[in-house]
Structure 1
Amino acid sequence: MTTDVIAGRRSAPTARRNTTPRRHRRPSIFRVFSTVLVALIVIVQVYPLAWLFITSVRTEDDFASGNPFALPSAVTFENYVRAFQTGNLGMNILNSFIVTMGANVLIVLLGMMAAYAIQVLGFRFSRLVRGLFLIGIIVPVQIALVPLFIDYSSVNLLDTYVSMIIPLAGFALPMSVYLFSSFFEYIPLETYEAASLDGAGPYRIFGQITFPLSVNTIVTVVLVNSIFIWNDFIFANTFVLSDGLKTIPLGLQNYIGAMGKVDWTATFAAVCVTITPLLLVFLVLNKAMIYGIESGATKG
């Protein structure tokens, strides 16, 4: 009987707990406001891209005579064919790809090595050097156009890929050095000490330890800089003189005809072709980019 009483005492709270109705929590005002705000931001960001892709498949007469913000009355892909026929779009994409890849290689190699020397190896004025790199973030690119043009003219570097790659890499280095050096703070010093005790030198440590651990930060640096390099107009417009080296921002000027008439639907199709690679790469590597920003920019 004692056992039954104990069992009854133990089961009583359980029974009361099960019969108690659950209370539905109402969403707080702050949560509703934040949800609406995020939805508005997403709409503002996505709508221009959606409108761009929709307009690129509209007929020229439909875009000129109808409401430019309305849905297309007919879908056509002739605009994409005309985009490649009107301008040298394929060559422009190739030139932008070469400049973007060349600049990113310099940014990653020089940025990682500079951050490795400042943060890992260390020297007497390492913090001062890092501060000088950070000052470079606030330097506007416009002040270097005339001096670089004069220097390039004297060494015959005008109208070359190098004339665009060097300044693009140089102005992107300060932020890259900051991201890499901040990330290197997360790597324990015991890892480097153990490698040194095993006989590894600084170059071997850099190549076999630091570089593999920095993949996410490298992806972040490459993606962030690729957006600005891919869309660069200032340096390309200043240092490129021939049509064969025009990048995408310069090549879009080919769709402006006589008397300033613009083939808008072909221009929108060309823009869609040029931004699609960046969108696809960003969608594939966005997780690595977010992790790289969190691990490389939240400490320092």
Structure 2
Amino acid sequence: MTTASALEAAPGGRRLHRPRAVTALKVAYRTLIGLVLVIQVYPFVWLVLTSVRDADDFASRNPFSLPASFTLDNFARALAEGNLGHNILNSVVITGGACLLIVVCGMMGAYAIQVLDFRGSRLVRGLFLMGIVVPVQIALIPLFVDYSRVALLDTYQAVIIPLAGFALPMALYLFMSFFGYIPREIYEAASIDGAGPYRIFWRITLPMSLNTIITVVMVNAIFIWNEFIFANTFVLTDELKTIPLGLQNYIGAMGKTDWTATFAAVTITVTPLLLIFLVLSKAMIYGLESGSTKG
């Protein structure tokens, strides 16, 4: 007799029904997942719909209602009036430069601490990890003073260096966790074959760390792309304004805001990063999982 038959059959010819609590739990679970999905997706959908909405329709009707008419003039106005293309270029340069610095310094530092395990490596690890709890705001005034003395204000380096520095402890932790996941026998076999620490790093550690590199880049790129504090403090001219600073150009006299053009600009800047995140999400999740488990 199968399990299903045993559940249905009972002494006296009565039928035993499966507990309704299991079905109710599944319904509640799926409802919760659907609710979370709606909460996460709705703001982006509303952003896209508003970006193609006529300005008069947005001003005269409920801003959360469905558009009565659609137009692409908002995107043309956003690109023409807000210097959005130049802002995107600045954000790309700063994000790419900071992520490159984070990956290079994070990987090399983690390799030295976790794999080479030199004398005092535990102390160095502790000092780096203490940087996680240091708020970025306490460094604004000292960095501003130092940058003004060495003529680094209003440069890409003024924004890239602190962004990479404050992101380095977390990147170092992720790389160290992953390097601890790699069996020591691989390094020992490479050493027996005559490979030095540099060759082991380039031929073994680096190729195996691809998913962790993607994870570190994506986690930091999202933050750096939307970063406002450092850019607002160290950028003084319009030529180096990033996207968050450039969006201020849509605020006119007496606080008047071109909302539909602003939403169009936000859509242009958010969509590429979102698509990249969706494409690389599996590699990012794998990198987080491999960096949080060992053995």
TM-score between both structures, scaled by the size of structure 1:
0.91
Question: Where do residues 140-219 of structure 1 align in structure 2 (5 Å cutoff)?
Answer: 140-219=135-214
Q: Distance in 1 between matches of 2:6 and 2:249?
A: 70
The alpha carbon displacement at 1:38 in A equals 1.8
Deviations 1:203-237 (A, max 9, x none): 11001100000000000000000000000000000
Residue among 284, 289, 294 paired with 1:294: 289
Q: Distance in 1 between matches of 2:274 and 2:7?
A: 45
- The SS at the match of 2:280 is helix
Number of residue-to-residue matches in the alignment: 285
Partner of 1:104: 99
TM-score between both structures, scaled by the size of structure 2:
0.93
Partner of 1:133: 128
Q: Distance in 2 between matches of 1:150 and 1:66?
A: 49
The alpha carbon displacement at 1:124 in A equals 2.2
Q: Does 1:91 align with 2:86?
A: yes
Distance 1:196 1:239, change over 3 A: same
After TM superposition, the runs of 4+ consecutive aligned structure 1 residues lying more than 6 A away are: none
Identity %: 69
Q: Distance in 2 between matches of 1:117 and 1:215?
A: 18
Q: Does 1:282 align with 2:277?
A: yes
Partner of 2:13: none
Residue among 101, 109, 115 paired with 1:114: 109
Q: Distance in 2 between matches of 1:120 and 1:54?
A: 51
Distance 1:238 1:19, change over 3 A: closer
Distance 1:120 1:263, change over 3 A: same
Q: Distance in 1 between matches of 2:202 and 2:4?
A: 64
Structure 1: gaps of 5 or more residues:
1-15
Structure 2: gaps of 5 or more residues:
9-16
The alpha carbon displacement at 1:87 in A equals 0.5
Letter of the 2:114 counterpart:
Q
The alpha carbon displacement at 1:198 in A equals 1.2
Q: Distance in 2 between matches of 1:203 and 1:175?
A: 23
Q: Distance in 2 between matches of 1:118 and 1:93?
A: 37
The alpha carbon displacement at 1:37 in A equals 1.8
Q: Distance in 1 between matches of 2:199 and 2:277?
A: 31
Residue among 231, 247, 250 paired with 1:252: 247
Greater C-alpha Rg: 1
RMSD (Å) for aligned C-alpha atoms: 1.8
Partner of 1:264: 259
